[in-house]
Amino acid sequence: MGTELVVTTDRVQKFFDDLEAQKAILSTSTKLFTTLSKHFNSLQDSLSQKSQSLESKIQSLESRSRETLESLDLRETSIPERESAAAARIEEQKAAALAEFEKSISGNLDLPETLKSFSRKMDPQGLLKFIVSKRKESISLRTELVQAIAEAVDPPKLVLDALEGFLDSKAKKIGVTDKRWACGLLVQALFPEGRSNSGKKGPEFSRSMVERAARIADTWKAQMVGDSNGGGGTLGAAEAVMFVQMVIGFGLKEKFSEEFFRKLVMEHAARRDMAKLAGALEFGEKMGDVIDELVKNGKEIEAVYFASETGLTERFPPVSLLKSYLRNSKKNATTILRNGNNSLAATEESSTLELNSIKAIIKCVEDHKLESEFSLDSLRKRATHLEKAKTERKKSSAASSRSL
């Protein structure tokens, strides 16, 4: 009887062990089924999303294809009309150019007509000389040149001829300063929008004209390398801006490395034009690095302009940058005064530094309309005080000289 009980108990125990094993297998199978179900559901969702995306892209492609075909049809039907208009324009410019050659430029012609006369004649050297002679009328020149070079038979050729003349003068170190300034006005006139990040499309040029511009840019860059190695003077900020304007305008940005443009922009960041052009150079995410470097180098004012032109004011708040610049300028002015033992020379240097910094801040605030966030009253009073003190020092110095 005892033996039968033991046997029965063992069988029951074995039965329960088998049940536990079956339970474990069932649990594992359930988990595996759940995992596989989730995996296949995920695959199904992914395939569904990709299918929808592909369908959307196909529809977008079909839509763009239709628009392109319609545009091509429209362009094809408008070719005769455009050819007639272009031919008429060429004849008009040709007649105007011939008329200019038949008459001599008299001293009675006003500024706009004289500029147009040189442009119609496609006379880059005569145009440059005249621009230089009217340097005191720079504001009028900038306005009138845009319309004047539009009168030329081939405006880009006129400007490129002038640039080649400038580079030749630079190589020979003859009359560089005046020609650089005049050529800068011509390039600005050819690209009045500057092809900045405003989204406006610039003029289009023939392949041969772009290739010629590329050769000029290569020569120009080679001269820059020579300049930096002591081979031909220095590259001024105005020339750097002019070079970047030409490169962007003729669509030559891809010919040069991003690092080359970055160095050029950083070196001449103080030029307000450079901040506008930086957006067209499309540094992308690296634009933030450029502004960071400006801030680290104590160029917070430049950083404000760059941030505003490239839409990065949230990352680089203008008011914070201006306050930082003001603090640093005060600290530097105090250091100069202390290191110079409050001498007259140290006082003058310290005062000039602080005054220039204040003027830069005021100009920056006004340019970006930040008066409501950055009060200028105390700065204007401080600037007035510094200017009066500077005048008094000059009077005192002059009186001392006379007494000796």
Rounded to whole angstroms, how far apart are CA atoms 322 and 360? 10
Buried b (16+ CB within 10 A) or exposed e, 34-61: eeeeeeeeeeeeeeeeeeeeeeeeeeee
pLDDT tens for each residue of the chain, 404 residues long: 555 555 577 777 788 777 888 888 888 888 888 888 888 888 888 888 888 888 888 888 888 888 888 888 777 777 777 767 666 766 666 666 566 655 655 555 688 899 998 999 999 999 999 999 999 998 999 999 999 999 898 999 999 999 999 999 888 888 888 999 999 999 999 998 754 444 445 567 889 999 999 999 999 998 887 655 544 345 788 899 999 999 999 999 999 998 999 999 999 999 888 998 988 888 878 899 999 999 999 999 999 999 999 899 999 999 999 999 999 999 999 999 899 888 888 899 999 999 999 999 999 999 999 999 999 999 999 999 999 988 888 887 776 666 65
Q: How far is CA 377 from CA 324, 365, 383, in A?
A: 18, 12, 10
Q: Kindly report the pTM of this predicted structure.
A: 0.69
Count of beta carbons in the 10 Å neighbourhood of residue 403: 6
Residue 199: burial class (beta carbons within 10 Å; 0-12, 13-18, 19+): exposed
Closest CA to 128 of 94, 159, 100: 159
Q: Which residue has 């007639």 as its token pair?
A: 84
What is the per-residue pLDDT for 3? Answer: 57
What is the per-residue pLDDT for 31? Answer: 86
Q: What is the residue extent of each domain of the chain?
A: 317-404
Closest CA to 156 of 114, 113, 216: 216
Helix (H, G, I), strand (E, B) or coil at 333: helix
Residues 6+ apart with CB under 8 A from 143: none
What is the per-residue pLDDT for 393? Answer: 84
Virtual CA dihedral for 196, 201, 203, 208, nearest 10 degrees? 90
What is the per-residue pLDDT for 281? Answer: 87
